[in-house]
Structure 1
Amino acid sequence: MDGTILRKLAVPAVLSLIAFLAYSSQLLFLQLEPGPLDRRQSLIFNALVGCLLICYMRACRTDPGRVPEGWQPRVKTSKQADDNKHESTRETPKSIPQRWCRKCEAPKPPRAHHCRLCQRCILKMDHHCPWTLNCVSHRVFPHFIRFLFYAVAAMTCLGYFLYLRAALIFQSRNLPSYLGPSVLQLTHLFLLLLTTFLTWTALTILLLRTAYSLFTNTTTIESWELERHATLLHRARHFGGVLDGPDGQRIPIRKQEFPYDIGIWRNCVQGMGAANPLAWFWPFAASPSVESGLEFEVNGFESEDAVWPPPDPDRMARGWPRPWEEGRSAFVHGDEGVDVEAFRRRQEQDIKRWRRDGEGVVRRKPFVERLEASVRWEQDGDGDGEEGEQSEDSDEDEVERRPVAVNVRGEESWKNSEGESLADFGLDEDAEFYDEEDIPLSVLLQRKRLQKAE
């Protein structure tokens, strides 16, 4: 309840801050030398404040977008020349790699994420902003960056006006006090200077970071994923280029280029929703359409089969039931050179890496716990002897009792260099880390239709 009340107070707090800086300062200028703002200064400053308020309210009130009901990924057709390389071609359907959200029980478009506060998948979600009570998304991003731009511009002007008056007061510091401003006026001026400086610094940093995201066409979440991918690459180098995945799998980890960076100009056009630079600064510019946020142009550095984010063993769900649990072999006839026994031993170890949380949901143990248990298991033996098995069990119990620096729910507690996890951006971690199933999209859609029919 307390968190809900604080969230509801965020927008009034921002509006109060804007009113304090923009309008109480102009009242103070009436009482300080060199007097109130002249006509030109007043027109420029109040115009910037007006644009700031318009963009802020649009950033708060614009619908961040939702996946249309019944939407399904488009099926591409790739033209392939025949074997004789004649001019004739044939159409071969090729599906775009699919993503599925368990919370929405619907296909998830590229770059969309499930927001735990909005309770739905948001198109090209950047983060859920606590100061606008809205998701910064494909449709909201242009208003959000315009709000930051006009806020920094307005506070730059205000800082200049405040500096002129503070400099005059400092120059006349040796005059009798009755010739200068009152204590109340000095206190007001000091608060304006301090608040303006702190707010301007914070918003300038945020504006520069947001502009960088615009130029590179990366969201805040995707920046987190890029750093996560680099961590997995570094980690995989110590394990021969692979990491342990669900059900004893060995997941190859290779460097994957970010697919949505298509050049600075086209990145800006896509992010701002218009090709006219003047429209980028117009407070009443139209919001990008929902349809334009369902698919995004890629740079072609990776194959069409590659998806973003790259494979992450801790974001893969287990396949239930597994073929070898149904009495069938996990390997087909003709698999030569495969060490079946080694695979089964790895599978048994993987099963021990999973546990149920308080809600009965199967979670992967944190990487730190799994790595420590694996190292101790290898040091105590290969697990074939009775002594090795006993020491392994005791090690597992010891790991369970030992406090670790990560959340017990799994690798979703991983944080980037700034100490941020996906939950800090408003994402529903259960949906983000366990929404990918190794099941064809047609089967998932069929399940959903059957559930509606029932």
Structure 2
Amino acid sequence: MVLSSINQIAVPGVYLLIFFLGYPSQILFYYIDPAPLTKTELYISNGALVLIFITYTKSVFVDPGTIPKSYGREDEKEQGVVAEKRGDGLKRTKWCRKCNAVKPPRAHHCKECKRCIPKMDHHCPWTTNCVSHTTFPHFIRFLCYTSSGLTWLEYLLWIRISYLWENRNMPAYLGPNPFLVAHLFVTTIINSITLFALGVLFIRNVWCLAVNTTTIEGWEIERHKTLLRRARHFGGTLTGPDGSKVPIKKQEFPYDIGIWENIKQGMGTGNPLSWFNPFASTPSMETGLSFPTNGFEDASLSWPPPDPDRSYRRLPPPPTNSAAFTYAESTLSPQESMAAFRERQVADAVRRRKPFVQRLEAQLAQDREGLGAGYGSDDGFNDGETSGDEELEHETKIADGEGEEAWRNSEGERLKDFGVDEEIEFYDEQEDDDMPLSELLARRRAASNTIPTT
């Protein structure tokens, strides 16, 4: 309820903030020394305001994109070629259970928009819209023009403040009245805070544009580095919630294809003039369903890399000498069977969501007993950053008993802070092995029909 109320006032609040910083300040400058704004300064100020209003409006109202229902079925021929190379009959894909559809690369399920968003960067609370493949160009133009406009306003404000300071010893009746002085300082404080916040956000988004990463993918890259650091300590593998050993190998981010190509892809065009055009067209949805890769890794590898804590617990195979179609609870009543099933559900969820650091505590305790005084030396777990005990203590604190979906990056951010539905990302989103049987059969038939015979 509170979040819904905030979303309702966020956009009107931003429009009001733009209006407050843009228009009353021009009236203020008319009555305060050293002089009113010149025509050139007025043209610049109002031109910047128009650009800010246009780009913000587009950031709010342009649709972030919807994955076509036909996606995953139209590229049958391509699937057949990839299947021949992989030998498993299918191109690696991901399935979103909430959307009940195939999920394209770089797409994520937004908990606010209630659907998978193509090349989702994050869900912005100030636009109440997702920054995605289609809205990113408008969003970064808004940040560019807002940062420039606020810098210009900051310059005009500090001219007046400097003048007041230089003439601070003059009689009060020769200076501005208290209301004008208060207005000047309130505007300066609000403008400075807004400029700092949006300036940092603008620089961060320019960097993401240059290296072709989204905010979510930056989180995933840092998560992968953490898993690599852990795996080096345990011989290259990590233990999943089901006790299986998962090999962890370094995997390069696949979508960084060079600065120029990255910018062209992110802005939807290679024309620099269009990058700054507030009326530039929105990138088409078709261009957000697949992305070129740099070829550093095998084409069959998906991003993000494997994470043991995302996997379901796999049940052990039944004994070979057991009779067919029998199970341990065959003698229970329907009510008892349902109660036992619910208990297994709860236990499975707890086990899957149990933090890595808690699963590791017993093993580390045994290592301490075995190594004695030698434990705690630089063993490669920390990669020269922090000791194993320090990382363990750090991640125990940040997990908060919520499992590895509660993992935070160095800035203390979780996936849910970007608007991602963590439950979908970590547990309900699985790869080919967990697709509905009907979907798997349809895709296998399509693949087998397109594989050339020799």
Give 1 or 2: higher helix fraction. 2
Query: Secondary structure at the residue paired with 2:246?
Result: strand
The structure 2 residue matched to 1:196, chosen from 188, 191, 194, is: 191
Q: Which amino acid is the alignment partner of residue 65 of structure 2?
A: G
Q: Is the 8 A contact 1:26 1:37 kept in 2?
A: yes
Q: Which residue in 1 is equivalent to 2:136?
A: 141
Contact 2:241 2:352 in 1 (8 A): no
Deviates more, 1:154-163 or 1:265-274: 154-163
Q: Which has the higher contact order (CA 8 A, sep 6+)?
A: 2
Task: Give me the TM-score of the superposition, normalised by structure 2.
Answer: 0.80
Distance of 1:150 and 1:448 partners within structure 2? 49
- Contact 1:356-1:363 at 8 Å conserved across structures: no
Q: 1:140 to 1:227 in 2, by over 3 A?
A: same
Structure 1 residue 164: deviation in Å? Answer: 1.5
SS in 2 for 1:138: coil
Q: Deviations over 1:101-139 (max 9, x none)?
A: 111111100000001111100000000001000010000
Change (3 A) 1:410 1:287: same
- Corresponding residue for residue 396 of structure 1: none
Gaps of 5+ in 2: 323-342, 371-395, 444-454
Q: What does the per-residue CA deviation read over 1:130-184, in whole Å, with 9 as the maximum and x for residues that have no partner?
A: 1000010000100110000000110111111111112222222222111110011
**Farther-moved stretch of structure 1 (354-363 vs 431-440):** 354-363
| Residues 241 and 27 of structure 1, relative CA distance in 2, 3 Å threshold | same
Rounded Cα–Cα distance in structure 2 between residues aligned with 1:30 and 1:40: 14
State the Cα distance separating 1:368 from its structure 2 match. Answer: 1.3
Query: Which residue identity does 1:133 align to in structure 2?
Result: T
Instruction: Give 1:257's match in structure 2, choosing from 247, 252, 255.
Output: 252
Aligned partner of 2:403 among 392, 400, 410: 410
2:437 equivalent to 1:443: yes
Provide closer, same or farther for how the CA distance between residues 38 and 258 of structure 1 changes in structure 2, counting only shifts above 3 A.
same
> For 1:228, what is the secondary structure of its paired residue?
helix
CA contact (8 A) 2:92 2:431 kept: no
Q: Distance in 2 between matches of 1:444 and 1:136?
A: 33
Structure 1: which 5+ runs fail to align? 81-89, 330-353, 382-402, 450-454
User: Which residue of 1 is the match for residue 359 of structure 2?
Assistant: 370
In structure 1, the residue matched to 2:376 is none
- The Cα offsets for residues 24-77 of structure 1, whole Å up to 9 and x where unpaired, read as 100101111233221111111111111111100110111100110131163537
- The answer as to 2:270 corresponding to 1:275 is yes
Q: Please name the residue that 1:51 is paired with.
A: 51
Note if contact 2:10-2:126 (Cα within 8 Å) is conserved in structure 1: yes
Residue identity opposite 1:56 in structure 2: Y
Aligned pair count reads: 394
Match of 2:380 in 1: none
SS at match of 2:362: helix
Partner secondary structure for residue 436 of structure 1: strand
C-alpha contact (below 8 Å) 1:365/1:409 kept by paired residues: yes
SS of aligned partner of 2:32: coil
Cα distance in 1 for partners of 2:360, 2:320 equals 30
Distance 1:212 1:4 in 2: 31
Match of 2:305 among 310, 334, 340: 310
Q: What is the aligned partner in structure 2 of residue 2 from structure 1? A: 2
Question: What SS is found at the alignment partner of 1:251?
Answer: strand
Change (3 A) 1:34 1:378: closer
SS of residue paired to 1:255: coil
Contact preservation (8 Å) 1:357, 1:409: no
Q: Give the counterpart letter for 2:359 in structure 1.
A: R
User: Cα RMSD (Å) of the superposition?
Assistant: 3.0
Measured in 2, the distance between the counterparts of 1:78 and 1:447 equals 14
User: How big is the shift at 1:362?
Assistant: 6.4
2:65 and 2:134 in contact (8 A); partners too: yes
From 217, 220, 224, the counterpart of 1:222 = 217
Distance in 2 (CA, whole Å) between partners of 1:263 and 1:78 is 29
Calculate the TM-score normalised by the size of structure 1: 0.80
Q: Which amino acid aligns with 1:206?
A: L
1:261–1:444 CA distance, 2 compared to 1 (3 A): farther
Distance 2:259 2:435 in 1: 34
